[in-house]
């Protein structure tokens, strides 16, 4: 009954929007509030509820929308505005699922979309319903103003990004012509503001590839009476996890991180980084340089190597214990290299190290910084922030997106930096996830200008 009532309320909200002349920011805030109130926690997801809402919202303005996918409860959504065909399409992507929210850890209802202490609170405000709301608002505004486009503009809301990437994989296998584009804008980019007010626009061009690893420990009690507590499966598992999390991973300084570090080092907050750059290029001093960087900024350190984090221990007893490990591998590391290295680190015949079931995201080369879309983002950011902006290619230290599947297909994908991420901010995937209305307003305005620069009729 609660879901039915929520969808009815959303239908009324959408219907009322047809005749309004709200600002781009106001419309984005309304869409975000509506989207947060649809609980699409993954596992289970139920993203079809978002797909249906999006279809109602865009069709109220005369934009054709399509709900499609392989699971009736976990559908994707696609909408398209036609251009004159001078250029190939521009694709706007955001995922509709969110990670679960433990209500007891939140100060507000995680699915309430409440404004509290000057922020919009809710699961997905940062990852990635804020982006989805901004993309939809831009598409609606173009249609409402009847602006002419030089290329098609496609909006894609994909299901199951947080767990299995089944949404994007189904679309690529079954509906590729509907999302095939020259370029794509996705999540993964952020704005970092330094102490002197400079804004660093991090355009994600490269990603670490997530790899799920399962550790399965077996105690000797599974075969015969255990002579010692050391043969307990839980002990073996705990020690294996400890070895993995303490082990130094090989350093990989690639073209994207090199350019990003150099750009940062020119800023006052990061002038200390300049002395470490030549040391990172020298194999004899690389490890000590990385250690210095780790002490100053763990996120920068995480851009230099594969990272490992235990995420679940679903079952354990004295005989058998199992844990899942989240590995974010550097693009130059193959899956086989990673698992071989992890097995060597664990070095325990009682612990099996294996890939978790399911598909694994591909590692790809970076999207080029020489494309018209990257250049358009630089121009727009320079116009809006002429005196206090630094635009840099970026590889997120830990996060990954489904953009890697499209990059592997040959499509340049960029994590568009719309929203301000405060230093040390860790609310993505954590309690009290929130976004400031000012950040949302500025972000959708930036997206509006980028889309018009790239897809507007010249």
pLDDT at 55 over 50: yes
Average pLDDT over every residue of 171-199: 96
What is the structure's pLDDT at 247? 95
Q: Is the model's pLDDT at 363 over the cut of 50? A: yes
Q: What are φ and ψ of residue 25, in 5° steps?
A: -65, -45
> What pLDDT score was predicted for residue 319?
84
- Average pLDDT score over residue span 433-441: 96
Helix (H, G, I), strand (E, B) or coil at 415: strand
pLDDT of residue 358: 82
User: Contact 135/142 with Cβ under 8 angstroms?
Assistant: no
Higher-confidence position of 394 and 5 = 394
Q: What local confidence, expressed as pLDDT, does residue 20 receive?
A: 67
Mean pLDDT value across the chain: 91
Q: How far is CA 69 from CA 61, 167, 172, 175, 439, in A?
A: 24, 7, 11, 9, 33
Q: Which of 17, 19, 32, 10 is nearest to 434 (CA)?
A: 32
Confidence of residue 204 (pLDDT cuts 50, 70, 90): very high
Please report the pLDDT score of residue 219 as a whole number: 84
CA-CA distance, 37 to 323, in Å (whole number)?
33
- Write out the H or E segment, with its range, that includes residue 171: helix 166-174
User: What count of other Cβ atoms lies within 10 Å of the Cβ of residue 363?
Assistant: 22
pTM greater than the 0.85 cutoff:
yes
pLDDT surpasses 60 at 91: yes
* Pairing relationship of beta strands 76-81 and 65-68 according to DSSP bridges: antiparallel
Q: Kindly indicate the confidence band of residue 360, based on its pLDDT and cuts at 50, 70 and 90.
A: confident
Residues 70 and 174 sit within 8 Å (Cβ to Cβ): yes
The predicted-structure confidence for 136-180, as pLDDT tens digits, reads as follows: 999 999 999 999 999 999 999 999 999 999 999 999 999 999 999
CA nearest to 85, candidates 152, 177, 171, 156? 152
CB burial of 184-202 (b: ≥16 within 10 Å; e: otherwise) equals bbbbbbbbbebeeebbbbb
pLDDT tens track for 301-312: 999 999 998 877
Do 149 and 456 contact (CB within 8 A), yes or no? Answer: yes
Q: How far apart are CA 255 and CA 69, in angstroms?
A: 37
User: Left if phi > 0, otherwise alpha if psi is -120 to 50, otherwise beta: which for 413?
Assistant: beta
How confident is the model over 424-446, as a mean pLDDT?
90
What does 62-90 look like in DSSP terms, one character per residue?
A: T--EEEE-SSTTS-EEEEEE---SSEEEE
Q: What is the pLDDT of residue 5?
A: 47
Distance CA 126, CA 132 (A): 10
- Quick check: 3 pLDDT over 70? no
The total number of residues written for the chain in this structure: 458
Give the residue-averaged pLDDT of 270-286.
96
pLDDT band of residue 426 (cuts 50, 70, 90) is low
DSSP 8-state assignment for residue 274: G
What is the side-by-side strand order in the sheet with 115-116?
115-116, 119-121, 434-435
The pLDDT of residue 359: 80
Q: Check residue 225 and give its pLDDT.
A: 47
pLDDT tens digit sequence for 207-257: 999 999 999 999 865 444 445 556 788 889 999 999 999 999 999 999 999
Q: How confident is the model at residue 457 (pLDDT cuts 50, 70, 90)?
A: confident
């Amino acid at each position: 009954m609660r879901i039915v009532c929520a969808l009815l309320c959303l239908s009324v909200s959408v219907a009322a929007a047809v005749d309004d002349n709200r600002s781009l920011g106001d419309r984005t805030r309304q869409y975000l509030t509506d989207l947060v109130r649809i609980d699409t926690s993954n596992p289970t997801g139920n993203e079809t509820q978002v797909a249906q809402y999006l279809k109602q919202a865009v069709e109220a303005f005369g934009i054709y929308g399509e709900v499609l996918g392989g699971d009736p409860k976990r559908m994707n959504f696609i909408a398209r505005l036609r251009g004159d065909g001078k250029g190939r399409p521009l694709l706007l992507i955001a995922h509709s699922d969110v990670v679960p929210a433990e209500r007891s850890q939140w100060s507000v209802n995680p699915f309430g979309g409440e404004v509290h202490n000057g922020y919009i609170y809710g699961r997905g405000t940062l990852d990635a319903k804020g982006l989805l709301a901004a993309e939809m608002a831009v598409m609606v505004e173009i249609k409402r103003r009847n602006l002419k486009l030089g290329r098609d503009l496609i909006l894609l809301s994909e299901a199951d990004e947080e767990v299995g990437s089944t949404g994007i994989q189904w679309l690529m296998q079954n509906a590729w012509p509907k999302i095939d584009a020259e370029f794509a804008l996705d999540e993964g980019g952020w704005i970092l503001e330094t102490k002197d007010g400079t804004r660093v626009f991090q355009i994600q061009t490269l990603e670490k590839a997530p790899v799920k690893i399962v550790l399965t420990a077996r105690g000797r009690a599974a075969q015969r009476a255990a002579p010692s507590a050391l043969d307990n499966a839980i002990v073996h598992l705990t020690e294996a996890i400890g070895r993995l999390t303490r082990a130094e991973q090989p350093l990989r300084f690639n073209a994207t991180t090199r350019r990003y570090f150099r750009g940062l080092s020119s800023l006052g907050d990061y002038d200390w980084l300049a002395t470490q750059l030549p040391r990172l290029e020298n194999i004899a001093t690389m490890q000590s340089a990385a250690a210095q960087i780790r002490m100053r900024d763990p996120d920068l350190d995480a851009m230099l190597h594969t990272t490992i984090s235990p995420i679940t221990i679903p079952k354990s007893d004295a005989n058998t214990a199992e844990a899942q490990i989240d590995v974010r591998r550097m693009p130059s590391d193959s899956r086989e290299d990673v698992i071989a290295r992890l097995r060597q680190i664990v070095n325990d015949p009682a612990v099996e190290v294996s890939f978790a079931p399911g598909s694994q995201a591909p590692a790809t080369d970076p999207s080029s910084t020489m494309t018209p879309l990257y250049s358009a983002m630089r121009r727009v950011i320079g116009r809006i922030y002429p005196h206090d902006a630094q635009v840099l290619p970026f590889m997120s230290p830990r996060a990954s997106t489904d953009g890697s599947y499209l990059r592997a297909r040959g499509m340049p994908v960029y994590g568009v930096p719309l929203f301000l991420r405060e230093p040390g901010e860790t609310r993505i995937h954590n309690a009290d996830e929130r976004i400031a209305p000012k950040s949302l307003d500025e972000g959708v305005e930036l997206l509006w200008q980028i889309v018009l620069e790239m897809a507007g009729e010249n």
